[in-house]
Chains A and B, each alone.
Chain A
C-alpha cells in the first residue's frame, strides 16, 4: 500500500519536475515555427530521459549514493573538477531562467514589469527551501503542476490533423531555415535532459531512503512520469502549431506563447497560461536550487539534506541561499529570459557526455550495483545515448551561433 502511494506521488513528482521554462519555450517555438515537425526530438529526448532517470534512481537505490558523489569517488577529483564548475554555472543559469519564467508570468497577470518581480520571487523560492521538508516541496509543486495539463486539453480541443501529428513523430529534414530547425531540435532535447533532473532525482531517492526494494517503483515512476511529462510538452507543441503558426507568431517573446490557450479558453486562457507557467517554473526552480546545493555538498562530502533543519547543515543551506541570490542577480542584469533559456538548454545538451558517460560506466560496476547492473537493453540504450551525446556536444555551440 505504502509503495502504491509512493508510486502515485512519484509519478506526480516526475510530471512536476519534467515541465519547466525550458520545455515551455522550446516546445512553443518549435510548434509555432515548424508545426508538428519537431515532435520527434521530444520523443527521442523522452526515451533518453526515461532511461537516464530510471538508471539514476536504480543507482541511488542500490548504492545509497547520488551521481555527483559516485563520480567523484570513482573517477577522482581531477576528472570531476571542470564538469563540476560547469555544472554549477549551468544550474545558476537554469535557475535564473526559471525565476525569469515566474517573473514573466507575474508580468502577464499584473502588467508590472518582470524585473520588479525578480527579487520577491527569489525570496519566495528561498523561503520554500528554508522552511519546507523534501516531501512537502516534492508533493506540493507536483500536485499544483497538474494545472499544466491544460496544454493537453487545448491540443485535443483544437482538433489537430492526426496524420500530420503522427508524421511529426518521425525524424525529418527541414524544408527551410535549417539552422533554426536544428537549434530547436537540440534545445528540445537539452530541455529534457537537463542534468539537474537526474541529480535531483537521485538525491531525492537517497533523501527518501530508497533501497533495493524500490527498483520496481523507480522503473514505473521513470516510465510513466516522464511519459506524462512528455505528453504535456507535446500538447504545447501541438497547441502552438494550431494557434501560433497560422498567425505567423514566431515566439520572439514569452508573451506571445500565452496565446496558445486563448482559442480554447477565450475568457481565461491568458491567466491560465500565466498560472501554468508560474507553477511549472516554481517547481523547477525549487528542484534546480536543491540540485545545486546537493551537487556542491556531495562533491565536498558535507552533511546535506532538505529534511535537516538549516542549522544542522549550514553549508548546504548556504549553497542554495547563494544560488538563489546569484540567479536572481543574473536575472536583474536585464537578460532576456527567452534567449537565456534557449542558450542554457543548448548548453545542457552539450554537457550530456560529461554527465552520462561516467555515470553509465558506474551502472555496470558490479561492486556497486550487484545483481541490478545494466542489462542488454539498458546498455544498448546507454551506448546510443553516449553516441548521441557526443553528436550534441559537437553541434550545440555552432547551432546556437548560427540559429541566433
Chain B
C-alpha cells in the first residue's frame, strides 16, 4: 500500500520526457497470500474525481459523456510499459501526443487555440 501511495499523483512522462498526465488512479490485482500487484495506472479527471469524492466521480462521468471529446474517461497505462521510475517522474513507453490523455489538447489546438493568429511562433 505504501508503494501505491508513493506512485499516486506522480507525473507521468513519455519516452521523450513529455508530460502525459498524473497517476490519477491505480488498478491492482489482489493475490491470495501475496501483496497486491499493480496492473495499470489510470489517467483522467474521472479516476481523479473518484479519489476526491464519490459524488464528483458520477458528475464528472456525466460531463465526459456529454462532451465526449476524450475517447475514454480513463486512460490506462500498463505497468509493463513503465521504462523508469524515480523521485521526479514515471517514464512510460508511449508517445504523449498520441494518447487519450492528449485528446483535449489536440481538440483545443485544432478548434480554438490553433485558429487564433500567432498560435505558432516563427523562429
Within 8 Å by CB of A302, from B10, B21, B112, lies B21
* Given A69-B11, A73-B9, A310-B113, CB of A301 within 8 Å of CB of B22: yes
B9–A302 contact, CB under 8 A?
Answer: no
Question: What is the interface residue range for chain A against chain B?
Answer: 20 to 34
Within 8 Å by CB of A311, from B11, B20, B114, lies B114
Interface size on B, residues (CB 8 A): 31
A-B CB proximity, top 9 nearest: A301-B22, A314-B108, A314-B113, A311-B119, A314-B109, A309-B121, A301-B21, A310-B119, A81-B52
A260–B90 Cα distance when bound, in Å, is 55
* Given A77-B52, A301-B22, CB of A309 within 8 Å of CB of B9: no
Within 8 Å by CB of B52, from A64, A69, A78, A130, lies A78
Some 23 contacts from A to B, beta carbons below 8 A apart, are A73-B9, A73-B11, A76-B5, A76-B9, A77-B8, A77-B9, A77-B52, A131-B121, A301-B12, A301-B19, A303-B18, A303-B96, A309-B120, A310-B113, A310-B118, A310-B120, A314-B108, A314-B112, A314-B114, A318-B108, A321-B113, A367-B87, A368-B87
Q: Is the interface of A mostly helix, strand, loop or mixed?
A: helix
A154–B33 Cα distance when bound, in Å, is 77
Within 8 Å by CB of A317, from B87, B96, B104, B113, lies B113
Question: Which residues B1-29 have CB closer than 8 A to chain A?
Answer: 5, 8-12, 18-22, 24
- Min C-beta distance of A86 to chain B, whole Å: 14
A212 within 8 A of B: no
A300 within 8 A of B: yes
C-beta contact mask, A313-350 vs B, less than 8 Å → 1, else 0?
A: 11101100100000000000000000000000000000
Question: Which residues B72-95 have CB closer than 8 A to chain A?
Answer: 87-88
A58 within 8 A of B: no
A77–B51 contact, CB under 8 A?
Answer: yes
B105–A303 contact, CB under 8 A?
Answer: yes
- Min C-beta distance of A161 to chain B, whole Å: 54
CB-nearest residue of chain A to B97: A303
B32 within 8 A of A: no
Q: Is the interface of B mostly helix, strand, loop or mixed?
A: mixed
A367–B96 Cα distance when bound, in Å, is 28
- Min C-beta distance of B9 to chain A, whole Å: 5
B22–A311 contact, CB under 8 A?
Answer: no
A72 within 8 A of B: yes
A64–B19 Cα distance when bound, in Å, is 14
A302–B19 contact, CB under 8 A?
Answer: yes
CB-nearest residue of chain B to A303: B19
Q: Which residues of A contact B19 (CB under 8 A)?
A: 301-304
- Min C-beta distance of A294 to chain B, whole Å: 13
CB-nearest residue of chain A to B47: A77
B118–A131 contact, CB under 8 A?
Answer: yes
- Min C-beta distance of A131 to chain B, whole Å: 6
Q: Which residues of A contact B22 (CB under 8 A)?
A: 72-73, 300-301
B116 within 8 A of A: yes
Q: Which residues of A contact B21 (CB under 8 A)?
A: 300-302
A301–B116 contact, CB under 8 A?
Answer: no
CB-nearest residue of chain A to B52: A81
A65 within 8 A of B: yes
A64–B87 Cα distance when bound, in Å, is 11
Q: Which residues of A contact B20 (CB under 8 A)?
A: 301
B100 within 8 A of A: no
Within 8 Å by CB of B116, from A63, A76, A303, A310, lies A310
Q: Which residues of A contact B8 (CB under 8 A)?
A: 76-77
Within 8 Å by CB of B113, from A131, A304, A311, lies A311
9 further interface pairs, Cβ-Cβ under 8 Å (given A65-B88, A73-B11, A311-B113): A64-B88, A77-B8, A78-B52, A300-B22, A301-B20, A309-B119, A315-B105, A318-B108, A321-B113
- Min C-beta distance of A210 to chain B, whole Å: 15
- Min C-beta distance of A196 to chain B, whole Å: 22
B10–A73 contact, CB under 8 A?
Answer: yes
Question: Which residues A365-404 have CB closer than 8 A to chain B?
Answer: 367-368
C-beta contact mask, A171-205 vs B, less than 8 Å → 1, else 0?
A: 00000000000000000000000000000000000
- Min C-beta distance of B45 to chain A, whole Å: 8
A318–B106 Cα distance when bound, in Å, is 12
CB-nearest residue of chain B to A74: B9
A302–B20 Cα distance when bound, in Å, is 7
A291–B58 Cα distance when bound, in Å, is 30
B48 within 8 A of A: yes
A40–B12 Cα distance when bound, in Å, is 46
A360–B121 Cα distance when bound, in Å, is 39
A309–B118 Cα distance when bound, in Å, is 8
Question: Which residues A264-313 have CB closer than 8 A to chain B?
Answer: 300-304, 309-311, 313
A310–B24 Cα distance when bound, in Å, is 26
